[in-house]
Amino acid sequence: MARPKIIVIGAGICGVSTAIWLQRYGYQVILMDRGEPGMGASYGNAGLIAQWAVVPMTTPTLWRKLPSLLLNSKSSFSLKWGYMPRLVPWLAKFLSHATDAKARQTVSDLMPLLSDAVDQHKALSSGTPVAQWVEDSKISYVYRSQEDFEQDAYSWALRRDVGLVPTILTGTQVAEEEPILGPAMQYMAVLEGQGHILNPGQYVKELCAYFVHEGGKFIQATVQDFKRSNGKIIAIQTDQGDFDCDNAVVTSGIWSKPLMKRLGLSVPLEAERGYHVVYKNASILPKNPMLAAGKFGITPMGNNLRCAGTVELGGIEYGPSRRPVRLIKSFVQDAFPKLEYEGIEEWMGFRPTTTDSLPLIGQIAQSGIYTAFGHQHIGLTSGPKSGRIVANMIDGKVSNNDLSAFDPARFM
């Protein structure tokens, strides 16, 4: 009897993870992407396995911070004002979640997806050449002062409620922990037992190569539509022809939105335009990744230092802005005054963000079409587990966790 054939659409971390787990369960799997594997949001993130990223942007403190976020020239948040008319409906729904009750519910929903993320990356890559890219580490939240730290008191209270309790370092202890930091940074909150990826783009690329080596197939094609019979998926229509399948999984990040429209789902998905700056052959590197004032992820990657962060809302059609890059460079100059380097790489990508800050993970009705996208800032972190969850669903394995918060039916 032929094994069921499954097509996974999107070769980022969620897609390759889904494909590998399905392959391990004995399915015939085709992985599709219109580009090369790992070259979307999976390529340019900060590389952090962010088990601590359970607190959404939409906390009640957002209302107090909003004027400064919009008007302060040094804010890590910015808008493409020409996009604003199209953004308003999404933004109104997004801001409606900035309440204490909804923030706490989001933390509760995200904990099962994030709490074992390092172990999930290891389970995905263990026994393969790809395991070399997964690194155990701490994460240090760096602040200028205790006063700045206390501005994040609400978020830290939510983390403490779920067991994420930091060690606090002050004054000279900060420089002892991370000699790369200059005297401007005087307060640090350190979480143990975390991890990071040494080269996210290469990691995903090699995971795809491993998948192909084990018998999977990667096809570069643009998906155009879904062919169904009696409501069930029977084929994927692409610019390279039609491909028969028994199931399909959509893991295309921001590009999932038009595919969902083909299925009658109007998913409120917007692109958070994220930026990074890589300092090549950096003269000094942090011992562990850092998060500066909740804004910038700072990660050692081999001989390079990657600084990623900022949020710009402006869709996918505009080109890169200079302001976010200037902001990152200004911070680096201030925080790491002794840093020298041989060159710089700049990048912009699109984080797919829903109005409720939760991804879509599950089957659309009984169509045989599954989703794993919309992970916002936690795509790299939760990709392996999201892929495993979807593979388990297709294979009939029952989850011990309540996954209803991620059900794509909430947008039907």
**For the domain that residue 234 is a member of, what is the CATH number?**
3.50.50.60
Structure tokens at 87: 């953004």
Would 253 be classed as within a structural domain? yes
Contacts of 210 (CB under 8 A, 6+ apart): 20, 128, 129, 130
Would 349 be classed as within a structural domain? yes
Q: Does residue 168 share a domain with residue 106?
A: yes
**pLDDT > 70: percent of the chain:** 99
Q: Does residue 302 share a domain with residue 189?
A: yes
Q: Does residue 86 share a domain with residue 190?
A: yes
Considering only 19-33, 35-49, 340-354, 382-396, which range has the smallest mean pLDDT?
35-49
What mean pLDDT comes out for the span 365-386? 96
What mean pLDDT comes out for the span 255-274? 94
**Residue 280 belongs to domain spanning:** 55-114+131-195+269-354
Q: Does residue 212 share a domain with residue 154?
A: no
Alpha-carbon gap, residue 334 to 247, rounded angstroms: 51
Nearest to 289 by CA among 193, 155, 205: 193
pLDDT at 294 over 70: no
What mean pLDDT comes out for the span 157-186? 94
> Angle at the Cα of 17 (from 20 to 4), degrees rounded to 5?
45
Run of H or E including 385: helix 379-395
Would 124 be classed as within a structural domain? no
Domain boundary among 354, 380, 401: 354
Would 28 be classed as within a structural domain? yes
Domain boundary among 327, 354, 381: 354
Alpha-carbon gap, residue 29 to 8, rounded angstroms: 7
Q: What is the CATH number of the domain that holds 173?
A: 3.30.9.10
- Could you read off the pLDDT of 270-291 as tens digits, one per residue? 999 999 999 999 999 999 999 9
Would 61 be classed as within a structural domain? yes
DSSP track, 106-143: HHHHHHHHHTTHHHHHHHHHTTSGGGGGEEEEEEEEEE
Alpha-carbon gap, residue 298 to 280, rounded angstroms: 13
Number of H helices, E strands in the chain: 13, 19
- DSSP bridge partners of 219: 32
Considering only 9-13, 41-45, 238-242, 391-395, which range has the smallest mean pLDDT?
41-45
Give the Cβ contact number of residue 129 at 10 Å: 11
Q: Does residue 162 share a domain with residue 98?
A: yes
Number of domains, the chain: 2
pLDDT at 1 over 60: no
Nearest to 241 by CA among 220, 257, 211: 220
Q: Does residue 174 share a domain with residue 285?
A: yes
Alpha-carbon gap, residue 54 to 11, rounded angstroms: 25
Would 94 be classed as within a structural domain? yes
- Could you read off the pLDDT of 54-102 as tens digits, one per residue? 999 999 999 888 877 777 777 888 889 899 999 999 999 999 999 999 9
Kindly report each contact of residues 279-282 with a partner whose C-beta sits within 8 Å and lies 24 or more positions away, as own/partner.
279/304, 279/305, 279/306, 279/307, 279/332, 279/339, 279/341, 279/344, 280/304, 280/341, 280/342, 280/343, 280/344, 280/345, 281/341, 281/342, 281/343, 282/339, 282/340, 282/341
pLDDT at 40 over 90: no
Position 102 scores a pLDDT of 97
Q: Does residue 214 share a domain with residue 74?
A: no
Run of H or E including 44: helix 41-44
Dihedral class, residue 218 (left if φ above 0, else alpha if ψ from -120 to 50, else beta) = beta
- Indicate the average pLDDT of the chain: 94
Q: Does residue 386 share a domain with residue 300?
A: no
- Of the chain, the end-to-end C-alpha distance in Å amounts to 35
Q: Does residue 388 share a domain with residue 405?
A: yes
How would residue 116 be classed by pLDDT, with cut points 50, 70 and 90?
A: very high
Domain boundary among 354, 370, 387: 354
